[in-house]
Structure 1
Amino acid sequence: MDQSTLQLVILVVLLVLFLLAIIVFVLFSVFMKRKNSLLREQIEAEKRFEKAIAETQIEIREETLRNISWELHDNIGQLLTLAKIKAQNIEGGEEMLEVAETIGTGLNELRALSKSINPEAINGQSLIKSLEMEVARFNRLKFLSAEYELLGDPVVIDSQAEIVLFRIVQEFITNTMKHSKAANLKLSVHFKADSLEIIAHDDGVGFDSEKVVKNGIGLSNIDKRANLINAHVRINSIPGAGTQLKLIYPLD
């Protein structure tokens, strides 16, 4: 084999190897692209599944609250109304009048509670109004002193998002009353240019945030609700220095 023929063979071999390398590279790139696409689809499917589960759980809770609201209003409310009427008709002087007034106050608070947990009632009014009424209700109960402030120019937001935001704040306030031993609560609602920021802060006993977050105690419901509307929520607490809820909802 002469020199020129040998060079030609070597050139052909190198060309074939080069083409094989290109084919392998293209096939590998297609494989990786397809693999990444399948992974993304799997992650999105898992997110959709988790979101569907969370929505179902929240719908069940809302339906349960709706039924409790009806029971409070229709059954227990009627019983208290009847007791108030009977107390007013009994001749007992000022003492019976005080009993009637106490029953009347309890009836009014029962109706306010019934309205605050009924999704239909909340959906019929703005988030601002719902929060104002909730703060006023807690002040009437005199378990703690609640302060409310509204900052910025309010804008209309999605009605379902309003319910979710209200439930998050409502759950935080309820936990404050049950566990914090707080004397004061401050709720701030701030409409910014691109987001709605809600901050609730109590002066209670507080807790170890890292331990609670690590164990997942008491935060799962709030996190699930926030994720449904793409909101960011954070709870900070220091033992002896109170607890703060910071909730940010993006405004499109």
Structure 2
Amino acid sequence: MTSHLSNFTAIIENSNCLISDHLIPVHLQQFGLVKSIKQICNQIKNQIRFNVRVIGNPDILSKQLSIVIYRIAQELITNVAKHSECTTCTIHLKTSQEYVAFKIHDNGNGMYVPESRMNGIGLLSTIIKVELLNGRIEINAVRGEGMTINIKIPLL
């Protein structure tokens, strides 16, 4: 009975590892946050020129926070590609001992739909992620001039 229980426990532990590996993007695991964000940009097949700037060392971020920043970047870059009609997009990632900051700015149409009129959950889920981490998010848009989203999350 004990050997069956040990085998069963090993199977469960192995399954948990397999599941968690699938939740973490392989590219993020292998190449880190900056290269993974650049890969998201490279996957966009339209006419947007992306510029990714990094200040500090993103390697200081925990694995969990790196995943959150990656998912936020993925959502916001996708939104830029789908909705902004921009030609350029600049992404800033800044890390320090106190916080991580993520900023995305495009030169697109600057249309921002207020929370009450959002059809999708992407931007709303980004806002929720940031707030759950005691962070701040600011969304600024000027019609015809683009949109800027600033995110700042304190490091615990």
Same fold (TM over 0.5): yes
Aligned partner (choices 189, 197, 215) of residue 117 of structure 2: 215
Aligned partner (choices 142, 163, 179) of residue 67 of structure 2: 163
CA contact (8 A) 2:99 2:153 kept: yes
Trace 1:68-107 onto structure 2 (pairs within 5 A): none
More strand by share: 2
Trace 1:111-130 onto structure 2 (pairs within 5 A): 119-125=24-30, 126-130=32-36
Q: Does 1:137 align with 2:39?
A: no
CA distance in structure 2 between the partners assigned to 1:200 and 1:239 by the alignment: 16
Q: Which residue of 2 aligns with 1:25?
A: none
Q: Which residue of 1 aligns with 2:132?
A: 228
- CA-atom RMSD in angstroms: 2.3
TM-superposed CA distance for 1:229, in Å, is 2.7
CA distance in structure 2 between the partners assigned to 1:127 and 1:213 by the alignment: 29
Task: Find the residue that maps to 1:124 and give its secondary structure.
Answer: helix
Task: Find the residue that maps to 2:73 and give its secondary structure.
Answer: helix
Deviating beyond 6 angstroms after TM superposition, the runs of 4 or more aligned structure 1 residues are: none
More helix by share: 1
Q: Which residue of 1 aligns with 2:106?
A: 202
CA distance in structure 2 between the partners assigned to 1:152 and 1:124 by the alignment: 19
TM-superposed CA distance for 1:174, in Å, is 0.6
TM-superposed CA distance for 1:149, in Å, is 1.0
User: In structure 2, do the counterparts of structure 1 residues 136 and 216 end up closer, same or farther at CA, with 3 Å as the change threshold?
Assistant: closer
> Deviations for 1:65-97, whole angstroms, at most 9, x for unmatched residues?
x5xxxxxxxxxxxxxxxxxxxxxxxxxxxxxxx
CA contact (8 A) 2:138 2:151 kept: yes
CA distance in structure 2 between the partners assigned to 1:122 and 1:236 by the alignment: 31
Larger radius of gyration: 1
Structure 2 unaligned segments of length 5 or more: list them: 1-18
Q: Quick one: which amino acid aligns to residue 212 of structure 1?
A: P
Equivalenced residues, count? 133
Q: Quick one: which amino acid aligns to residue 127 of structure 1?
A: L
Q: Does 1:173 align with 2:57?
A: no
Q: Which residue of 2 aligns with 1:94?
A: none
Identity rate, percent: 25
Normalised by the size of structure 1, how large is the TM-score? 0.47
> Deviations for 1:166-208, whole angstroms, at most 9, x for unmatched residues?
111111111111111111111111223421111110011012x
Structure 1 unaligned segments of length 5 or more: list them: 1-62, 67-117
Normalised by the size of structure 2, how large is the TM-score? 0.72
> Deviations for 1:188-236, whole angstroms, at most 9, x for unmatched residues?
11223421111110011012x4x51343555321112223333322221
CA contact (8 A) 1:122 1:163 kept: no
Q: Which residue of 2 aligns with 1:91?
A: none
